[in-house]
Amino acid sequence: MQKDYTSLVNARARLEPIYTLYVNTVSSFQMALSLESAALVWALCDERRPAKIVDLGSGFSSFVLRHWAKVSGREVEVWSVDDDAEWLQKSKEFCASTGVSTEKFSTWDDFKVRNDKFDVVIYDLGRMPCRVTNVERALEFRAPGGVVLVDDMHKFNYNKEVRRVVEEKGLVATDMKEATIDRHEGRHCWLVD
């Protein structure tokens, strides 16, 4: 990701009205992907122009990816995956209410056995025990040349586990704290490629 954050500022301005709606009617800012990280997701898609994307941990990120795919004018395959079937349905309903695609929603149990590879992977799945357990599998969905956005890297024990797995797999992680730190609790993400 470029150090020039103009694309992040523009993405944030585009997403902020719908983010405000989302955190006031569907979820909360503590649980939703932060607006800062959502802006990075949008800018990342603009920069990389992915053909296949998976959102491991559905929610606002599912809207962002599907909205980006819709306005990109490209043929983009987007999957939304969650370990909670009820939450997955809420995510699908929000996507429907905003006029973006509602295809390719799956539970984690059904999805994790797939062998697909994706250009962009968003990893924000479930609560921390679930996330720690499945981080290695999540990274395996990355296509060669692809990137994984790993959220909530402010959590020390999770940060250590992600770092360990990234190093074992011979991947490179870039701390995106400067661009994605949120004002509420210091959440930020890493990009792994």
Reported as a pLDDT band with limits 50, 70 and 90, residue 156 is confident
Which alpha helices (DSSP H) does the chain contain, by range? Answer: 6-25, 35-48, 60-72, 85-97, 108-111, 128-139, 156-168, 177-180
pLDDT of res. 162: 94
Number of alpha carbons in the 13 Å side-chain half-sphere of residue 88:
21
pLDDT of res. 155: 84
pLDDT of res. 38: 96
Reported as a pLDDT band with limits 50, 70 and 90, residue 4 is low
pLDDT of res. 151: 92
Asked whether 100 and 121 are in contact (CB, 8 A), the reply is no
Domains of the chain, first to last: 6-192 (3.40.50.150)
Residue 192 has pLDDT above 80, yes or no: yes
pLDDT tens-digit readout, 114-145? 999 999 999 999 898 899 999 999 999 999 99
Decide: pTM greater than 0.85: yes
**Residues counted in the chain:** 193
Strands 52-56 and 142-150: what pairing?
A: unpaired
pLDDT tens-digit readout, 82-126? 999 999 999 999 999 999 999 999 999 999 999 999 999 999 998
